[in-house]
């Protein structure tokens, strides 16, 4: 177990103990305190008093006396309800505690309201009675006049009276075994919680260590329960690591592929440069031809390096410093004019149709125009002679849609997903394979989308969607 487990464990355990202590203290403070008087109170005592009250009010003192006598003869003890008349006589001649007798006399004399646990009753014969139950006292029973009942021992009668008259027994003490069980339960519960929280975090820690060593293939979102991912916040954290590791791994693979492609693209013009230098040395008479070849290859290298730098700049997440609000239609028209001139030199046509005259967007004008130029020139390269490249603009929802269609052979469906990847080449008119990749990055930088599909019966349709401001 690591340090994190024990931190969680002791944290949860101390919280459980604190909660238990707080709950026990609250229950102790909120408990029902025993009455300070020697009169029994509570629902049970109240029920017995009201029962006796019903007998007095309905049938009178003689019926109550007969009832109590019959109960005493049957059970050997009287019901613990005392009934004292206004003359101060208890209905069964039982001894009334002196302090209670004084309060009863005061109630009759001063006509004061009764207190909790005492009932004042008017019997059927209009006599006044006070009903109450003494709290936990032993009361002297009058001797049996006729001697019909069997005399019990004094200790036996005291035990029975104790069981009968203890109407509110104290709560039993909490046993030591219960405290020990609660202690073990708190330990177990804290351990389970600590393990539940520390296990995925330890897994995440180990995964970061593996990733730091270059092993980016590790995945942890379903490592605890294969085939099932957690749906809580910890599961989201683990899935976030998997997504991060997968993204980094993909980026590294892309960088490796890009480095391989760049090396290959640089190797060809450098080989031609070395060849031209070798020819110049072997045949000084053709020096001008060799120098011209060297100059051409140097321009190609410069163009390739410029495109690579542009792609690297667009790949960064930094916000362009020269973003301004521009009219996209004006930027596109400037590119279309140049493209029409170039197409005419190749016996091709470029048509432009746009009912939209203004569409403002916060963007880098040079980068966005470069994207338009790359896409339109690519369409001109692949469209046959005496055919037309059409450019149509329309508004779709809250976006400007620009569609560029040529009449060339198109791209095989299997290769369409690779069309905008760096160094992808298809067809005999392919250059370095960076133009469309740069165009996609530029449009994404303007919060737009770029897609391509084959157009029936032939040709490639490139769609650009740009938001407005």
When pLDDT is averaged across residues 207-211 and rounded to a whole number, the result is 83
- Going along 319-459, which residue ranges are E strands? 324-327, 349-353, 360-363, 388-396, 399-405, 449-454
Cite the DSSP H helix spans in 174-232: 176-212
**Higher pLDDT residue, 123 or 400?**
400
CATH number of 216-318: 1.10.287
pLDDT tens-digit readout, 281-301? 888 877 788 788 788 878 877
Contact predicate 201/209, CB 8 Å: no
| Helices and strands: H and E segment counts in the chain | 11, 10
Q: Return the pLDDT at 162.
A: 47
**Local confidence band at 236 (pLDDT 50, 70, 90 cut-offs):** confident
What confidence tier does 402 reach under pLDDT thresholds 50, 70, 90?
very high
Q: Which of 47-51, 143-147, 311-315, 432-436 has the lowest mean pLDDT?
A: 143-147
Q: How many CB atoms lie within 10 A of CB 319?
A: 8
Instruction: State the Rg of the chain over Cα.
Output: 51
130 CB-near residues (< 8 Å, 6+ apart): 83, 84, 104, 107, 108, 114, 118, 119, 120, 121
Asked if 57 and 142 count as a contact pair (C-beta separation under 8 A), the reply is no
One of 1.10.760.10, 3.30.70.60, 3.30.70.270, 3.30.565.10 is the CATH number of 324-467, namely 3.30.565.10
Q: Cα 49 vs. chain centroid, distance in angstroms?
A: 59
pLDDT higher than 80, residue 222 = no
Q: Are 64 and 52 in contact (CB under 8 A)?
A: yes
Give the per-residue pLDDT at 99.
78
Q: What percent of the chain stands above pLDDT 90?
A: 18
Q: Please provide the CATH number assigned to the domain covering 43-165.
A: 3.30.450.160
Sequence-distant (6+) residues with CB within 8 A of 142 are: 92, 93, 94
What end-to-end distance do the CA atoms of the chain give, in Å? 56
Instruction: Extract the tokens encoding 300.
Output: 């190609």
Q: Band the pLDDT of 33: cuts 50, 70, 90.
A: very low
pLDDT value at position 422?
77
How far is residue 216 from each of residues 179, 211, 222, measured CA to CA in Å?
51, 5, 16
Residues of the chain with CATH 3.30.450.160: 43-165
Q: Write out the residue limits of the CATH 1.10.287 domain(s) in the chain.
A: 216-318
Each residue's pLDDT tens digit, 422-439: 777 776 655 667 778 888
CATH 3.30.565.10 residue ranges in the chain?
Answer: 324-467
Tell me which of 105-109, 153-157, 209-213 is least confident. 153-157
Span 310-366, pLDDT tens digits: 777 776 655 566 788 999 999 999 999 999 999 999 999 999 999 999 999 998 888
């Amino acid at each position: 177990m690591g340090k994190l487990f024990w931190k969680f464990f002791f944290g949860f355990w101390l919280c459980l103990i604190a909660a238990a202590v707080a709950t026990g203290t609250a229950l102790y403070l909120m408990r029902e305190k025993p009455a300070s008087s020697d009169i029994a109170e509570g629902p049970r005592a109240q029920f017995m008093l009201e029962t006796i009250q019903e007998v007095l009010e309905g049938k009178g003192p003689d019926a109550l006396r007969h009832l109590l006598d019959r109960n005493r003869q049957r059970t050997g003890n009287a019901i613990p309800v005392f009934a004292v008349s206004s003359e101060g006589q208890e209905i069964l001649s039982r001894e009334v505690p002196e302090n209670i007798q004084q309060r009863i006399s005061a109630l009759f004399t001063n006509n004061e309201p009764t207190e909790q646990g005492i009932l004042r009753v008017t019997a059927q014969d209009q006599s006044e009675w006070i009903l109450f139950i003494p709290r936990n006292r032993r009361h002297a029973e009058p001797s049996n006049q006729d001697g019909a009942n069997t005399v019990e021992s004094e200790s036996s009668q005291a035990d029975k009276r104790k069981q009968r008259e203890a109407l509110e027994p104290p709560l039993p003490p909490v046993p030591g075994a219960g405290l020990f069980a609660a202690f073990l339960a708190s330990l177990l519960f804290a351990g389970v919680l600590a393990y539940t929280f520390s296990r995925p975090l330890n897994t995440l820690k180990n995964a970061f260590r593996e990733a730091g060593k270059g092993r980016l293939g590790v995945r942890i979102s379903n490592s605890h329960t294969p085939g099932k991912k957690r749906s809580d916040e910890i599961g989201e954290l683990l899935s976030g690591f998997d997504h991060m590791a997968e993204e980094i791994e993909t980026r590294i693979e892309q960088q490796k592929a890009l480095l391989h492609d760049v090396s290959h693209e640089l190797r060809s013009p450098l080989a031609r440069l070395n060849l031209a230098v070798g020819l110049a040395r072997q045949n000084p008479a053709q020096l001008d031809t060799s120098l011209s070849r060297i100059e051409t290859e140097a321009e190609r290298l410069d163009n390739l390096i410029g495109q690579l730098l542009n792609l690297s700049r667009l790949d960064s997440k930094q916000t362009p410093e020269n973003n301004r609000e521009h009219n996209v239609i004006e930027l596109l028209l400037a590119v279309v004019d140049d493209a029409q001139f170039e197409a005419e030199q190749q016996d091709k046509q470029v048509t432009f149709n746009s009912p939209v005259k203004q569409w403002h967007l916060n963007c880098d004008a040079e980068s966005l125009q470069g994207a338009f130029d790359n896409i339109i020139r690519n369409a001109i390269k692949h469209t046959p002679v005496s055919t037309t490249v059409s450019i149509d603009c329309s508004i779709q929802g809250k976006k400007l849609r620009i569609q560029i269609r040529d009449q060339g052979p198109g791209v095989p469906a299997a290769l369409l997903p690779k069309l905008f990847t760096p160094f992808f080449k298809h067809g005999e008119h392919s250059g370095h394979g960076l133009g469309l990749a740069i165009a996609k990055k530029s449009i994404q930088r303007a919060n737009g989308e770029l897609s391509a599909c084959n157009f029936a019966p032939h040709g490639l349709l490139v769609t650009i969607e740009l938001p407005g401001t």
